[in-house]
Amino acid sequence: MTIDAGDTVEIEYVGRAEDDTVFDTSRETVATESGLADAQPDREFDALTVEVGAGEVIAGVDEALIGMAAGETETIDIPPEKGYGEWSEDHVREYDTDELTETLDGRDPEVGQYVETQDGTPAEITHVDDDTARIDFNAPLAGETLTFELEVLAVE
């Protein structure tokens, strides 16, 4: 049975960035080898169950699953527009450094530090001087072509 939109599938996957760094996986051995298991000690690395076409995974993975079948494996490249989007200067904001310090409960903002918006979206501080701070709200993998190794375990 080949996968179609609306099917529920169980998959194993490994996601790699352009520099071949593993940024996400369902495979515990890969998580351990890549250091993800250490970085996310409370996470269980298990197969993922998703409804195809429901937007539960990035568009490129959703599209790649259609037509696959249980037991099949495939390695796919996903362009930014089907992954985490293109990087955009429109998603970078400038703030008054003193106001940002107040928002951070008196802690000085630092380049490379991550902050969260009210809805929990992470953003990276990319510049700080006496007057202004720049915060990048682009997704960390925005603008990158991603490679996913997919294995379909089951189709319902």
Q: Tell me, yes or no, whether 98 and 57 share the same domain.
A: no
Q: Tell me, yes or no, whether 19 and 57 share the same domain.
A: yes
Cα 100 to chain centroid, rounded: 26
Residue with tokens 């995974």: 57
Q: Tell me, yes or no, whether 101 and 129 share the same domain.
A: yes
What is the structure's pLDDT at 6? 97
What is the pLDDT averaged over residues 29-40?
A: 96
Q: Is residue 2 part of a domain?
A: no
What is the pLDDT averaged over residues 131-151?
A: 96
**Residue 78 structure tokens:** 């996903």
Entry pTM:
0.85
What is the pLDDT averaged over residues 111-128?
A: 91
What is the pLDDT averaged over residues 29-38?
A: 97
Q: Tell me, yes or no, whether 72 and 14 share the same domain.
A: yes
Q: How far apart are CA 153 and CA 82, in angstroms?
A: 23
Q: How far apart are CA 12 and CA 149, in angstroms?
A: 8
Give the count of alpha carbons within 13 A of 80, CB side only.
12
Give me the CATH number covering residue 106: 2.40.10.330
Q: Determine how many CB atoms are found less than 10 A away from the CB of residue 26.
A: 20
Q: Give the number of domains in the chain.
A: 2
**Residue 26 structure tokens:** 């369902």
Burial class of residue 129 (count of CB atoms within 10 Å of its CB; 0-12, 13-18, 19+): exposed
